[in-house]
């Protein structure tokens, strides 16, 4: 029986050693599970923060879109007012010209052809603004 008791003791010792190994392995795996759970909690928190940020950004985009639409409408209104003012100014200028009359176009006389860079002040005053500028740019002289 000594042999059996000894074999049983060795078997028990072997099983106790195996139980200790399994318990150590269980502690290691529990620690890994706790670490993974902590990671999941942290990632859930990050997801919640990102969701809040996305919501804030979507609100900002909606606000900017509303402001852009209002700006586009304001630009369209101002453009229409500018066009209206231009048309009114053109109409007023046409009415003024109709009241005053168109200036007579400058005729080139034979004397003026001989001296193209010299004209009298009266002839100069009859020139259009662009013709006056060209005259001055080309070195014209008043006589």
Q: What is the pLDDT of residues 42-73, one digit of tens each?
A: 999 999 999 999 999 999 999 999 999 999 99
For residue 53, the model assigns a pLDDT of 94
**125 has a pLDDT exceeding 80:** yes
119 contact partners, CB below 8 Å, separation of at least 6: 112, 135, 140, 142, 143
Q: What pLDDT digit, counting tens, does each position of 72-122 carry?
A: 999 999 999 998 888 888 888 777 777 766 555 555 555 555 556 778 888
Question: Could you give the maximum distance between any two Cα atoms of the chain, in Å?
Answer: 154
Tokens in use for 12? 């028990």
* Whole-number Å distance between alpha carbons of 143 and 122: 10
Condensed to tens digits (0 to 9), the pLDDT of residues 16-47 reads 999 999 999 999 999 999 999 999 999 999 99
Contacts of 117 (CB under 8 A, 6+ apart): 138, 139, 140, 141
CA 105 vs CA 98, 115, 125, 127: distances in Å: 16, 19, 11, 7
The answer to whether the beta carbons of residues 106 and 132 sit under 8 Å apart is no
Q: Where are the domains of the chain?
A: 2-102, 106-143
Q: What's the token pair of residue 96?
A: 């003024």
Q: What is the pTM of this model?
A: 0.42
Give the tokens for residue 17: 């050693």
CA atoms within 13 A of residue 14's CA, in its CB half-sphere? 6
């Amino acid at each position: 029986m000594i042999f059996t008791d000894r074999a049983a003791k060795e078997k028990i010792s072997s099983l106790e050693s195996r139980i200790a190994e399994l318990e150590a392995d269980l502690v290691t795996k529990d620690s890994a599970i706790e670490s993974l759970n902590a990671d999941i909690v942290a990632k859930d928190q990050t997801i919640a923060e990102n969701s809040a940020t996305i919501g804030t950004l979507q609100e900002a985009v909606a606000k900017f879109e509303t402001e852009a639409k209002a700006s586009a409408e304001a630009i369209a209104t101002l453009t229409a007012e500018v066009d209206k003012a231009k048309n009114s100014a053109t109409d007023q200028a046409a009415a003024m010209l109709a009241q005053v009359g168109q200036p007579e176009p400058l005729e080139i006389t034979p004397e003026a052809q001989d001296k193209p860079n010299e004209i009298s002040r009266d002839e100069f005053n009859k020139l259009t603004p662009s013709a006056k500028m060209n005259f001055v740019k080309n070195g014209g002289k008043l006589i």
